[in-house]
Amino acid sequence: MKNRMMDISVKAAAADAAAFKADLLAIGVFEDGCCCAATAAVNKKMGDPLGRLKRLGDFEGKPQTTALVYSDGKLAAARVLFVGLGEKAKCDAQALRKAAAAAASQATAMKAKTVGLLLCGGDAAAAGQALAEGACFGAYRYDEYIAGADKKRSAALTAVILAADEKELAAVKKGAAVGVITGAAQNAARTLANRPANVITPATLAAEAKKVAAKTRGLRCTVLDEKQLAAKKMGGILAVGQGSQNPPRLMLLHYKPAKTTAKTPKIALVGKAITFDSGGISIKPGEGMQDMKFDKSGGIAVLYAMRAIAQLKPNAEVIGLIPSAENLPGGKSYRPGDIITTFSGTTVEIQNTDAEGRMILCDAIAYAKTLGCKTIVDVATLTGACVVAIGTQRAGLMSNDEGLIAQLKAASTATGERVWHLPCDDEYVEAMKSKVADLKNTGGKWAGACTAAGFLSQFAEGAKWAHLDIAGVGVWGAGEKDAPGSIGFGVRLLTAFVCGGK
Ligand code: BES
Ligand code: MN
Ligand code: ZN
């Protein structure tokens, strides 16, 4: 029996925090001094618990720390959670997002129905968005297959962002409205990524994509099945998919603004969706192989970024391409030594069937160019080498265009989804040249993340292209304790990249 996922809603109000009725009232506290006037007023009304906490050294406002106290009838809310915001000068949108997440997670664990968020700082709209996103993120649990797990947490949670200053309410509301869209998209991505490979196959993923598009105004979805992929000569996707009983798919999602001109940019977002990566004939070691259900995370990030984009309506035409296959060993699998003719006509010698992500991405990237996309961003759990190089907190970013790098870095700063620029020089491409075909699919011992990017760059020539390697952040989920598994990395980053300041 499957449990119902939690319902999370977010509102903004200009209520007096002391009179605000809630199961939990979360209050932001800086390391250096209290916070805003509203916080100080609530603390005073309660008889200065914050002073006692600080004197005892139990709570100092450090980031990611909290202290729970009971209001004993002095406030309308039953409980108060002081949430550390760190140093006041360093308090940015990401600090607010994390504080809201910590509050929402504790609210969820105590089965609260409502949580008030009195967490101030910075630009009102940006704060509203970050708080809404953080509340969604923190309240999330993945427990649909654990009997009774839904009884141990809130069934539904309403987070209310309390604007301390009535003049800022309109801006906070506007930001929160965006944050609800991006936060919900991120959580939906987490659920799909967390589902196992016996549930999510290329075909069921395509059915989900169709469902998402049917429910989202302005978003269209078409799916190419294995016959249509063969007709289009998508040799890379077909080769990877041929070893599985679950045949491959290519999903296309399309958002077009109401009015377009010749100047309207046409952007492709391409996401790797390997529903399970056993390695194929070049099979992986058994330990940890279960994590390879997350190898579809890039594609799922694209799916839900497309939903958020269609809801936010930027002035850009966007095509989401999601190649999907299951990489299994079997009598029909592709093998080391095979030479594959990919969609662009470029031939690839297979050296390792476990380097399958680039084989499905190369077809989708080349196809995006035939659709007229001049800017292409791909996102993929592509290489273990990227994790070795930079760990689980940042995605690798490679690109052939400085402007695109700057845009993605700006989106990264705004969303708190961190990236790190890695090289993609000609020498890495050189390492991918084959003696029997145009390219080979592995590049030797060193810099595996860079040689993989070098391979992809060959299919993006003529377009501005960037590649996000999310192997570390997409698979190990950056160590979230309350909701282990997918963190839906990339949904907010891609949405912010396309929608800019919107
Ligand atoms: N999906 C994996 C990459 C991966 C590894 C993601 C670990 C997350 C955690 C990818 O398909 C893969 O197997 N890459 C190989 C490439 C190699 C054979 C050139 C790798 O990284 O070992
Ligand atoms: Mn692989
Ligand atoms: Zn893979």
Q: Determine if ligand 1 sits within 6 Å of the CB of residue 277.
A: yes
- Burial zone of 478 (CB within 10 Å; 0-12 exposed, 13-18 middle, 19+ buried): middle
For the cut 80, the answer to whether the pLDDT of residue 151 exceeds it is yes
Do residues 287 and 473 make contact, with C-beta atoms less than 8 angstroms apart? no
DSSP string covering 5-37, please? PPEEEEEEE---GGG---SEEEEEEESSS--SH
Dist CA 357 CA 378 (whole Å): 11
For the cut 90, the answer to whether the pLDDT of residue 37 exceeds it is no
Looking at residue 96, what is its pLDDT?
Answer: 96
The pTM of this model reads 0.98
Dist CA 116 CA 28 (whole Å): 11
Residues 6+ apart with CB under 8 A from 277: 284, 292, 295, 327, 354, 356, 357
* Neighbour count for residue 51 (Cβ, 10 Å): 12
Q: Which amino acid is at 22?
A: A
Do residues 313 and 260 make contact, with C-beta atoms less than 8 angstroms apart? no
pLDDT band at 32 (very low <50, low <70, confident <90, very high): confident
pLDDT band at 145 (very low <50, low <70, confident <90, very high): very high
pLDDT band at 51 (very low <50, low <70, confident <90, very high): very high
**Helix (H/G/I), strand (E/B), else coil: 208:** helix
For the cut 50, the answer to whether the pLDDT of residue 439 exceeds it is yes
Instruction: Kindly report, residue by residue over 71-103, the tens digit of the pLDDT.
Output: 999 999 999 999 999 999 899 999 999 999 999
Looking at residue 477, what is its pLDDT?
Answer: 59
For the cut 70, the answer to whether the pLDDT of residue 376 exceeds it is yes
Looking at residue 122, what is its pLDDT?
Answer: 81
Do residues 333 and 281 make contact, with C-beta atoms less than 8 angstroms apart? yes
Residues 6+ apart with CB under 8 A from 195: 293
Q: How many Å lie between the centroid of ligand 3 and the Cα of residue 6?
A: 30
Q: Which two tokens stand for residue 488?
A: 């839906």
For the cut 80, the answer to whether the pLDDT of residue 275 exceeds it is yes
Q: How many Å lie between the centroid of ligand 2 and the Cα of residue 456?
A: 15
Q: Determine if ligand 1 sits within 6 Å of the CB of residue 385.
A: yes
Q: Any idea what the Cα angle at residue 319 is, between residues 315 and 325, rounded to 5°? A: 155
* Set 284, 374, 409, 433: catalytic member: 284
* Set 173, 249, 358, 464: catalytic member: 358
Looking at residue 34, what is its pLDDT?
Answer: 64
Dist CA 37 CA 198 (whole Å): 53
Q: How many Å lie between the centroid of ligand 1 and the Cα of residue 490?
A: 18
pLDDT band at 484 (very low <50, low <70, confident <90, very high): confident
The reply to whether 141 belongs to the active site is: no
The side-by-side arrangement of strands in the sheet containing 339-341 is: 339-341, 347-349, 439-440
Residues in the chain: 502
Q: Determine if ligand 1 sits within 6 Å of the CB of residue 448.
A: yes
Do residues 414 and 496 make contact, with C-beta atoms less than 8 angstroms apart? yes
Dist CA 303 CA 60 (whole Å): 41
The reply to whether 74 belongs to the active site is: no
For the cut 50, the answer to whether the pLDDT of residue 9 exceeds it is yes
Do residues 464 and 374 make contact, with C-beta atoms less than 8 angstroms apart? yes
For the cut 90, the answer to whether the pLDDT of residue 126 exceeds it is yes
Do residues 323 and 360 make contact, with C-beta atoms less than 8 angstroms apart? yes
Q: Which two tokens stand for residue 31?
A: 């390391």
Dist CA 355 CA 274 (whole Å): 11
Rg (CA), the chain: 24
Q: Which two tokens stand for residue 500?
A: 């800019």
Q: Which of 81-95, 232-246, 478-492 is predicted least confidently?
A: 478-492
Looking at residue 502, what is its pLDDT?
Answer: 46
